[in-house]
Chains A and B, each alone.
Chain A
Amino acid sequence: MDIKEIIRPDNLVYKRTPLLTDATLSYCPGCGHGTIHRLIMEVVEEMGIQSETIGIAPVGCSVLAYEFMDIDMSQAAHGRAPAVATGIKRLWEDKFVFTYQGDGDLAAIGTGETIHACNRGENITIFFVNNGIYGMTGGQMAPTTLEGMKSSTSPYGRNNKTMGPPIKITEMIAPLPGVHYVTRQAVHKPGPVRKSKKAIRKAFEVQKEKKGLSFIEFVSNCNSGWKMTPNDSNIWMEEHMFPFYPMGDIKVDGKLVK
């Protein structure tokens, strides 16, 4: 069979969404960011809302997210994405506005902005990628680093007594009345990827219906920061991260389900 016979539209089983640019992803091979970027852009494409969507890139590994997503985007100072999103959404109520933040950005330096944007029920979507480490700056301890987990600033493992325990910020913001939809997902296997995409779609639908804030935590890996192979990091994530950060919906239609 000739290759040209194979490359035919009716043989197409998967194609990259045009909402991802041609730029080469700057993420490490095996990292979850690329998959999450793709899923968000696929949903934006499927909903036909590219011309109404504004994304906020944080400080962290995804600081250059706007290089990869073909939508209007604003960079934000470290931790301030929810405030930046608030400013945009308040003046453009009908646009879709999302932030894309890491654990250091959202749960350490930006805790105040996160909690208050959630509490005000800003009609935005927060995508929170939790890999338990500062990836961009080279593997320092994050607010979500597990007890005993080694990082460059907790080289003997996180000591809960002196460093504080890891923070479950998703469970913290879920009870706030302004928050409408909260779920925790992953993207390390086809099943979770499909579930994640459904969650992203739901989050944008919540925004469309102006029901309040939607919040998705993606528990993800950082094979470089964790100093593992991509496959090992995914296994380690299932064995260690998932028990502490359990998968599934936390709040649906404004009601806590967990």
Chain B
Amino acid sequence: MKELALMKGNEAIAEAAIRAGVDGYFGYPITPQSEVMEYLMLQKPEERTGMVVLQAESEVASINMVYGAAGTGKKVMTSSSSPGISLMQEGISYIAGAELPCLIVNVVRGGPGLGTIQPSQADYFQSTKGGGHGDYRLIVLAPASVQEMADYVDLGFELAFKYRNPALILTDGLIGQMMEKVELPAQKERTNKFDQSWVITGKTEDRERNIITSLNLVADLQYEHNLKLQEKYKKMEEDVMFEKIECDDAEFLLIAYGSSARICQKVVEIARGRGKKIGLLRPQTLFPFPTVAISKLARRVKGMMSVELSAGQMVEDVKLAVNGKVPVYHYGMLGGKIHSPEDVLSEVEDKFLGGY
């Protein structure tokens, strides 16, 4: 039987984590995502599933607790918001370098600096291009509803373990604070069926010792390691996810993810109501990015617009995919302000529909 609930996005992440059989959560409070740990603490997951939840002394400590625990092959996660995620970048780089699976949630708020607590999508570059030092990528999932917040927890772990790579749920205060109907996933057992040959749990006589490290002082070896990482990132393309809304006959295309995609759905509704052929491509994974799909669509639309709550970050990836075939524009609000469907529509009309 379906188990339905009305929940905030942040709460859905927490409930889904318990149900996904997550072993450990390590975090530090920051608005607008504190509900994740609050919900977990209230639920007594140590009684429900044996899951460990610990409030660390900082985001730096949180991500390093995740690093340590992830090395033991357990399912571990953390969540934070932009300034906290910036603090975690060193640890995330180590996790990527040591090839450890884990889940990180960034409920983005407006920056730079302490910024604001209102929603933003200005952490796109940080999330999809690495974020910390070195050539590495995270698997980046972009939920656009509370349902997807819940669903992407399990999906995130599946991909993280498939590739032995950190996965990031990139969302924002809007989806985090919003309540929607959500069908809760079934409770999974807290057992891990993934390959455990590499984990550190104590060396036994039947195997060599296992070492979790991102250090390789010999440049040749570090070079080989980097090539292997790049191969892995390339392979991730097979797991690209996106949704096409009214794209089949679209003359103009909006590209938007997460909260901005929700706003753009409304734009498409209104535009279609007025007989304008606008479509929406919504990336559900931002890394891997739906480059091929966008490239194909570029052959039959007249133009595209990347709509983001930023000064224009994803638009760069859209432009790379389109490769000059059609004009690509950016539209977006900055610093925690949110564009309304009407704002976007008037920009669309200005850029695309002037000649109608």
Q: Which residues of A contact B (CB under 8 A)?
A: 49-54, 56-57, 63-64, 66, 70-77, 80, 83-88, 90-92, 95, 112-113, 116
Contacts and interface: CB of A to CB of B under 8 A. Distances in A.
Nearest to B204: A51
B67 A54 contact: no
B23 A75 contact: no
Contact of A73 (B58, B94, B209): B209
Nearest to B52: A90
B57 A112 contact: yes
Contact of B94 (A50, A66, A77): A77
For the complex of A and B, list the 10 residue pairs with the smallest distance between their C-beta atoms, beginning with the closest. Answer: A87-B68, A84-B68, A87-B65, A87-B69, A75-B213, A83-B64, A72-B200, A80-B64, A116-B57, A74-B212
B61 interface: yes
Tell which of A80, A95, A113 has the most Cβ of chain B within 10 Å.
Answer: A80
Contacts of B98: 75
Interface stretch (B71-79, B229-237, B288-296): B71-79
Contact of B71 (A64, A74, A77, A90): A74
Interface string B201-227: 111110001111111010000000000
Which of A53, A63, A74 counts the most chain B CB atoms within 10 A?
A74
A129 B67 CA distance: 23
A53 B64 contact: no
B54 interface: yes
Contact of A91 (B76, B209, B211): B76
A94 to B, nearest CB: 10
A123 B344 CA distance: 55
Contacts of B61: 80, 83, 86, 112-113, 116
Given A71-B209, A84-B64, A92-B72, A54 B54 contact: no
A112 B61 CA distance: 8
Given A86-B68, A112-B57, A73 B212 contact: yes
Contacts, number: 125
Contacts of A85: 68
14 contacts: A51-B204, A54-B200, A71-B209, A75-B214, A76-B68, A80-B61, A83-B60, A83-B64, A87-B24, A87-B64, A88-B200, A91-B72, A95-B201, A116-B56
Interface in B18-33: 23-24, 26
A112 B67 contact: no
Interface residues of B, number: 40
B298 interface: no
A85 B65 CA distance: 7
A51 B202 contact: yes
A86 B202 contact: no
A73 B200 contact: yes
A54 B201 contact: yes
Interface of B: 23-24, 26, 52, 54, 56-58, 60-62, 64-72, 74, 76, 90-91, 94, 98, 200-205, 209-215, 217
Given A74-B71, A75-B211, A76-B64, 9 more contacts: A52-B202, A66-B209, A75-B94, A80-B91, A83-B60, A85-B68, A86-B61, A87-B66, A112-B60
Contact of A53 (B54, B91, B202): B202
A80 B58 CA distance: 11
A84 B71 CA distance: 9
B19 to A, nearest CB: 18
B55 to A, nearest CB: 10
B68 A56 contact: yes
B87 to A, nearest CB: 12
A37 to B, nearest CB: 14
Contact of B209 (A49, A72, A77, A90): A72
Contacts of B68: 56, 74, 76, 83-88
A87 B67 contact: yes
Contacts of A113: 57, 60-61, 64
Contacts of B212: 73-75
